[in-house]
Amino acid sequence: MIPIHLKRRIYKYHLRGKRFSYILLSIYNRKYAVHAIKEENLHRQPEVSELDFILCIKTVRTVKNDYTIQYKNRAYQIEERIIEKKLIVEERMMQNDAK
């Protein structure tokens, strides 16, 4: 919810013909903006293995009593005996051909 004092400001600016969202954004940016401690860029290039994990599609599946799960109209048998009743299936976008 927008505070009353900001609503009055926004309405006043809106009547002058300025865009509502631009005014709201500029008011909130002036009030709540946080400046970076360091000006340098701290982003790093991800490795290929990280991208493979980040860009995969994850879906939760329920393990049936016979240790199978259904995924895309197929049944998959889990060979190990597990306690969990839910599993996360990861569908990878990039296939690793190096074996």
14 close to 27: Cβ distance less than 8 angstroms: no
Token pair of 38 as six digits:
């360091």
- Average pLDDT score over residue span 41-68: 86
How many whole angstroms separate alpha carbon 49 and alpha carbon 58? 16
Q: Is the pTM of this model over 0.75?
A: no
Residue with tokens 């990861």: 90
- Average pLDDT score over residue span 52-61: 88
Summary count for the chain: helices (H), strands (E): 3, 4
Which helix (H) or strand (E) covers residue 62, if one does? strand 57-62
pLDDT of residue 23 exceeding 50: yes
Mean pLDDT rounded to a whole number for the chain: 77
How many whole angstroms separate alpha carbon 92 and alpha carbon 98? 15
